[in-house]
Amino acid sequence: MTNSKQETEVKEETSSKMAEFLEEMPVKVVKDGEKITGKIVDITSNAAYVDLESFGAGIIYGKEIKDGFGLNRQKLGIGDKISAVVVEPENEEGYVELSITEAVREEAWRDLVEKQENKEPVSVKILDANKGGLMIELNGMRGFMPVSQLTAEHYPRVEDGDKNKILDILKGFIDTEMTVCVIAADEAEDKLIVSEKEAFKDKEKEFIAEFKVGDIVEGDISGVVDFGAFVKFLPPSKEKTGTDEDKLEGLVHISQLDWQLISNPRDVVKVGDKVKAKIISIDDSRISLSIRDLKNDPWMSVEKKYKVGGEYKGKINKINHFGAFVYLDKDIHGLAHVSSFPGYPKKSIDEVVEMDKEYMWKIMSVEPNSHRMGLKFVGEVGSESKVETEHPPVKSQKSVNQASAGQESEESAKVDDTKKKVEKKEVKNEEKKKETKTKNSDGDDLTKIEALVTD
């Protein structure tokens, strides 16, 4: 009995000590999705075993063993310390099931966010291309670089704006590498956007600092688009040693190409043309240029050539819902408001006039400083008003009446015919009166003649 009592006391003492130990070192329980670290202790063809210390033993299955760990995807080896995410706290075999892929993904996105915040230039591989830009890979994540974020060196300039031609140029970058900066990294939306322009922004700013508004630059037309033309030029410090990579690029808006009204920039310039341009604004890394500012402004002498109230020939260049743009010569144009056309508002402008055809116009206002001229439709060329382009015309009463009343040309023709008929009748009546006086006809004949005059 004594031995039995002693064994019981020993067990109670041991149990008490174990309880104290467990209180001091409580068992840790992992949770699903928790990130955990451990050391690889064994690798088989199907699994890798991980010592998680107080969390127990972990296991990694399948393809992830070959994929490796970390941002550089290092091959797993015994003794390697790894970070992994808990997939299952305890599987059927009693292991903590782990995933390296999820941990690597989390680490990759955290690194991308840091790169974005630090504006760190990195090298990326171009995987594919579409009409909107390039697909890239960074930290094992797929991302996108819009066409607008390419530098001037790589931006696709296509004369006719053909999207298929642009795509062909972009496809030429596949399997190459470019230096970029991360401009958007959002793990929740799985969105990664990069920019080549941003990576070279500081270098551009350094070169741009060599210029000021008003400076004249010389360069080549590097691209023509619907809204203007791009010009590449070297900064002063690189004029002798610079390469294409050192060139800056500025935009000449369509309105700054020439003083005349331009509908298509391709009618004025083409890629490869050597031009001089004036810097009219610098906004961060954007440079705006003007070619027209280096040409004489024809509007400064417009009032010597065209007078308010005068009527002149002009060709219609453009028609829209509010009026027609008319060129009086190659440099000077004006706007004829829709209300100045006969038949308004029942008739549209294109029912009255035709594109690229000349008509007579009356100048209602001229504003040289703002390059504006208000016109009013008069009628077809070749009417009774004979107009000289250099001087204000001598207007007939008929022309004045047409302009003020807004009569249509058909109505004017009818009035002319009526006047001619009346004039012929008056001539005949005069002749008959003379014949009557000569013959000394009686009162009945005079009554007949008066009736004819009344008609």
Averaged over successive runs of 10 residues, the pLDDT of the chain (455 residues) comes to 56 54 57 86 87 87 69 75 86 86 83 93 94 92 94 80 87 94 93 93 88 95 90 91 86 93 89 95 90 93 94 93 93 93 90 93 94 94 51 41 41 45 51 46 39 36
Strand partners, 129: 134
Q: Which residue has tokens 């309880």?
A: 19
Q: Tell me how far apart the alpha carbons of residues 60 and 93 are, in angstroms, rounded to a whole number.
A: 12
- In sequence order, which residues have a C-beta less than 8 Å from that of residue 34 and are 6 or more positions away? 85, 86
Q: Tell me, what's the pLDDT at 332? A: 93
| 232 in Cβ contact with 207 (< 8 Å) | no
Closest-CA residue to 393 (of 309, 310, 305): 310
Inside any domain, residue 5: no
DSSP secondary structure code for residue 69 in this structure:
B
**Same structural domain for residues 313 and 375?**
yes
Q: Which residue has tokens 């140029």?
A: 169
**Same structural domain for residues 340 and 381?**
yes
Q: Tell me how far apart the alpha carbons of residues 121 and 118 are, in angstroms, rounded to a whole number.
A: 9
Inside any domain, residue 3: no
**Same structural domain for residues 251 and 327?**
no
**Same structural domain for residues 263 and 355?**
no
**Same structural domain for residues 334 and 233?**
no
Q: Tell me how far apart the alpha carbons of residues 231 and 218 are, in angstroms, rounded to a whole number.
A: 9
- In sequence order, which residues have a C-beta less than 8 Å from that of residue 254 and are 6 or more positions away? 226, 227, 228, 262, 265
Inside any domain, residue 23: no
Inside any domain, residue 429: yes
- Domain extent for 364: 298-407
Q: Tell me, what's the pLDDT at 454? A: 36
Inside any domain, residue 444: yes
**Same structural domain for residues 370 and 302?**
yes
Q: How many CA atoms lie within 13 A of 37 on its CB side?
A: 6
The torsion angle over the Cα atoms of residues 382, 383, 385 and 387, rounded to 10 degrees, is -20
Q: Tell me, what's the pLDDT at 254? A: 95
**Same structural domain for residues 373 and 318?**
yes
| 364 in Cβ contact with 375 (< 8 Å) | yes
Stretch (H or E) spanning 11: helix 2-24
**Same structural domain for residues 77 and 123?**
no
Q: Tell me, what's the pLDDT at 4? A: 60
For Cα atoms 300, 304, 306, give the angle at the middle one, nearest 5 degrees: 100
Q: How many CA atoms lie within 13 A of 373 on its CB side?
A: 31
DSSP secondary structure code for residue 341 in this structure:
S
Q: Which residue, 294, 313, 343, sits at the end of a domain? A: 294
Burial state string for 26-58 with b = 16 or more CB within 10 A and e = fewer than 16: eeeebeeeeebebebeeeeeebbbbebeebbbb
Closest-CA residue to 193 (of 156, 153, 148): 148
Q: Is 169 helix (H, G, I), strand (E, B) or coil?
A: helix
Q: Tell me, what's the pLDDT at 242? A: 79
Q: Tell me how far apart the alpha carbons of residues 255 and 262 are, in angstroms, rounded to a whole number.
A: 7
Sign of CA dihedral 223, 225, 231, 232: negative
- In sequence order, which residues have a C-beta less than 8 Å from that of residue 322 and are 6 or more positions away? 337, 338
The three state secondary structure string of 275-301 is EEEEEEEEECCEEEEECHHHCCCHHHH
Inside any domain, residue 206: no
Q: Give the C-alpha distances (Å, rounded to integers) separating 52 from 93, 106, 168, 301.
A: 16, 20, 52, 88
- In sequence order, which residues have a C-beta less than 8 Å from that of residue 192 and are 6 or more positions away? 112, 138, 141, 142, 143, 144, 182, 184, 185, 186
Q: Give the C-alpha distances (Å, rounded to integers) separating 66 from 51, 81, 101, 317, 452.
A: 19, 16, 11, 69, 117
Strand partners, 194: 182
**Same structural domain for residues 219 and 251?**
yes
Q: Tell me, what's the pLDDT at 392? A: 43
Stretch (H or E) spanning 135: strand 133-138
**Token reading at 164:** 């298929």
Q: Which residue, 149, 170, 199, sits at the end of a domain? A: 199
**Same structural domain for residues 284 and 310?**
no
Q: Tell me, what's the pLDDT at 15? A: 55
Domain count, the chain: 5
Closest-CA residue to 55 (of 104, 101, 98, 107): 98
**Same structural domain for residues 323 and 338?**
yes
Inside any domain, residue 26: no
Q: Tell me how far apart the alpha carbons of residues 263 and 226 are, in angstroms, rounded to a whole number.
A: 9
Inside any domain, residue 11: no
What does residue 319 show for φ and ψ, rounded to 5 degrees?
-125, 130
Q: Which residue, 270, 294, 318, sits at the end of a domain? A: 294
**Same structural domain for residues 186 and 217?**
no
Q: What is the CATH number of the domain that holds 320?
A: 2.40.50.140
Q: How far is CA 423 from the centre of its chain?
A: 65
